[in-house]
Structures are given as C-alpha cells and as structure tokens.
Amino acid sequence: MSKSLRFSEKWFRRGLWVVALVFAWFLIGLGSTVVGDLPKIEQTQTLEDFMNPIELKKVREEIRKAELNEREVNDALEQSRLKHSAAEADTDSEREKFMASVATRKATAQPDQDKELIARTERVDNLQALERVALAQLEMQQKLLLDAQQASRKARLRLNELEQAAQGDYAKARQSQELRVFGYRLALTLPLLLLAGWLYKKKRQSTYWPFVWGFIYFALFAFFVELVPYLPSYGGYIRYLVGIVITLLVGRQAILALQRYQDRQRLAEAQPETKRREVLEYDTALARLAKSICPGCERTVDLKDTSIDYCPHCGIGLHDRCSTCNTRKSTFSKYCHACGAGAKLGEPPPAASV
C-alpha cells in the first residue's frame, strides 16, 4: 500500500508508527511495573511459617550452641597441636644432645662426665613426660571436637526433619499463593486483551490509529509476556491444556473468519462490476495492482501481459483505453497517465500553463 501513498504521507505514516511504538513502550513499562508489584499484595510465606515455632527455636538454639562450641573446641585443638608439636621438638632436641653426650663419654672415657649424662637423662625424661601430657590434651580436644561435630550434625538432622514435615503444607500454600497472584494478573491483563481485540476490530483504521496499535502491542505483551510465563504448571499439564484450548479457540475463529471472507468474496464477485468498484478504495486497489493482484478477487494476475484487460478469475476490468488519447491505462487510475484526461468522467486534459 505504501507505493500508492503520497511521498509526504509515507513519512507521516512512518512517524505515526514511531508514535505507536513509543506509546506502546511507555504502556509496557507501566504495565510491567504494575504486574511486578502484584505479588506484594500477598504476604510472602517461607518454610519456617509451617514449622513448630517452639521446636524450631529449640533446634536453632542447639545448632547455634553446637557451632559455637565447635569453634571454641577447634581453637583449643589448634593450641593443643602447637603445644604438642613444641613438646615433641624439645624432646627431640634434648634427646639429640643426650646421644651426643653419650658418644662423647664413650670416646673420652672420663668418669667426671657421668653427672652430666644423668642430668641430661632426667631432662629427657621430663620433656617426654611433658610431651605425653600435651598428647593427652590433644587427644582430649580431638574427642571434644568430635562430640561437638556430632551434636551439630544431630541438631541439623532434627532441623531437616522439621523442614521435611512442613514441606507439604508449604508447597500447598505456595501453590495457592501462585494461583491467587496469577488470578490478579489475569484479572488485569485479560480485559486489556479483550479491549485490544475490540479496538483492532473497530478502530484500527480510525483517525487515532497510532494509539490504537500502541495499545494493542501493549495488551499482547502484557498477556503473553507478563501473564503466560506465570501460568501454574502442575507438571506441565495445565500449560499444555491451556495451550491446546487457546489454539482451538484461535484456530476456530480463524476458520470462521476465512469462511466469512470467502462468502463475502463470492457475494462481491456476483455483483455487477460498477457496484464492486464502488466499495473498492483507491489506495487499496493501487496497492493490490502493485503486487500483481486483482483488486476485485485478490487473485494473482499477470499484469505485464498487455493482452490481459480483464481479470480471468472474476471478470473485473483492469485496463481500458483513454477516451481522449486512446492510450491503454489502468481502469483504477483517476487520470490518464499519457494525456492527463479524467479517467472516469472523460474530462479533457488540463490546459498547459504558459
């Protein structure tokens, strides 16, 4: 149809389409904000809301104490490891000195060194005793850590049991909440979609068509983007069933629309050519001719063939001769392209300006 429009009119229409898209963009932004805030109407519930509060508090306190105790015992264990390592190092060092003294005593065979050996032996024994004490403390801390870890695991298992017991009620409540929120979204978007359908049917070619199309785009986006993804799944059954129902309804309407269109075309093609031309708009006829389509029956016609003056399908006249200059021209043109004479009224061509 754009080929039949005036140059300025084309740009006006392009600008109006921009207006329609911008209008739709702002409406979509507003709609997304409203739809996004709808879940705030419902109080968000958590799994803890369906657990015994007394038991939950008790278990959480046990977990907190167990974790605190575990951290303290772990710190004490690290200290015991350091003390044990230091005791082992002291014992090893003193033992090496003792062995060196024994070797020296055997080499020199001096009896006055026996006192020193006895003293070193006592120091080694004392260090070994300290090492055993440090090892005992280390083992005790390890046992305490194991007890703390077991207590923590036991408390967490109890928490898991409480969560499992509440999981069923929580899932049901969450599902009900999702259904209610979906109902809010449906109550908001479905009237918009119905209004968009009415506007498309009645007002899409009105004076304010950019706002009509902008609203239609907004309604489609709100329904199929803001609503459909939040449709409860129930394992996929609901979505597939809804998709089947929508497809059936849309398909049925499309089939009925096709039948109505075919009926209208048959009735129109049965009318005299003069009446058929009266209902054809000038721009629509030129747009169809530009696509090599008959303006009357919308079937393909080879317009490049100069021997075809009538549509072979419906018989409507496509070309005739100018009554002034006898040039072959389109019957839908208002003026002869060769002489400028009025195509329908037989008017003479306009006088050339001097």
> How confident is the model over 273-320, as pLDDT tens digits?
778 887 788 888 888 888 888 888 888 888 888 888 888 888 888 888
Nearest to 81, CA basis, from 33, 142, 26, 37: 142
Question: What number of CA atoms fall less than 13 Å from residue 177's CA on the CB side?
Answer: 15
pLDDT band at residue 353 under the 50/70/90 scheme: very low
Write the DSSP assignment of 96-132 as a string of letters: HHHHHHHHHHHHH--GGGHHHHHHHHHHHHHHHHHHH
Residue 348, pLDDT above cutoff 50: no
Six-digit token pair at 313?
């399908």
Tell me if 336 sits within 8 A of 325, measured CB to CB: yes
Considering 217, 246, 270, which residue would you say is the last residue of a domain?
A: 270
Instruction: Identify whether residues 262 and 287 lie together within a single domain.
Output: no
Tell me, yes or no, whether 93 and 169 share the same domain: yes
126 and 265, same domain (yes or no): no
Look up the domain containing 248 and give its range. 233-270
Confidence of residue 116 (pLDDT cuts 50, 70, 90): low
Last residue of a domain, one of 176, 209, 231: 231
Q: Give the three-state DSSP class for 230.
A: helix
Q: Are 163 and 47 in contact (CB under 8 A)?
A: yes
Per-position DSSP letters for 193-212, written without gaps between them:
HHHHHHHHHHTTTSTTHHHH
Q: For residue 328, what are the β-bridge partners?
A: 321
Residues 258 and 196 in one domain: no
Give the range among 55-59, 218-222, 237-241, 254-258 with minimum mean pLDDT. 237-241
Burial grade of 182 (CB within 10 A; 0-12, 13-18, 19 or more): middle
Q: Worst-scoring range by mean pLDDT, 64-73, 228-237, 277-286?
A: 228-237
Mean pLDDT, the chain, integer: 78
The reply to whether 342 and 210 lie within a common domain is no
For 242, the token pair is: 């809804």
Do residue 215 and residue 316 come from a single domain? no
Whole-angstrom CA distances from 215 to 33, 195, 218, 222 are 16, 9, 5, 10
Residues 149 and 248 in one domain: no
Q: Is the pLDDT of residue 344 over 70?
A: no
**What's the pLDDT tens digit per position in 36-47?**
777 677 677 777
- 119 and 36, same domain (yes or no): yes
Torsion angles phi and psi, residue 110, rounded to 5: -100, 120
Of all residues in the chain, what percent carry a pLDDT higher than 90? 0
Contact 62, 150 (CB under 8 A): no
Q: State the average pLDDT over residues 228-238.
A: 68
Q: Are residues 251 and 278 in the same domain?
A: no
User: How many structural domains are present in the chain?
Assistant: 3
CA pair distance 259, 17, nearest whole angstrom: 31
User: Distance (Å, rounded) from C-alpha 200 to C-alpha 174?
Assistant: 38
Taking the CA atoms of residue 27, residue 28, residue 31 and residue 37 in that order, the dihedral angle to the nearest 10 degrees is: -140
- Do 172 and 224 fall within a single domain? yes
- 297 vs 92: CA distance, rounded Å: 109
Per the listing, tokens 């997304």 go with 32
How many whole angstroms separate alpha carbon 300 and alpha carbon 318?
13
> Is residue 347 scored above 60 in pLDDT?
no
CA 296 to CA 303: how far, in whole Å? 14
Residues 326 and 316 in one domain: yes
Q: Are residues 17 and 98 in the same domain?
A: yes
Q: Residue 317 phi/psi, 5° resolution? A: -70, 130
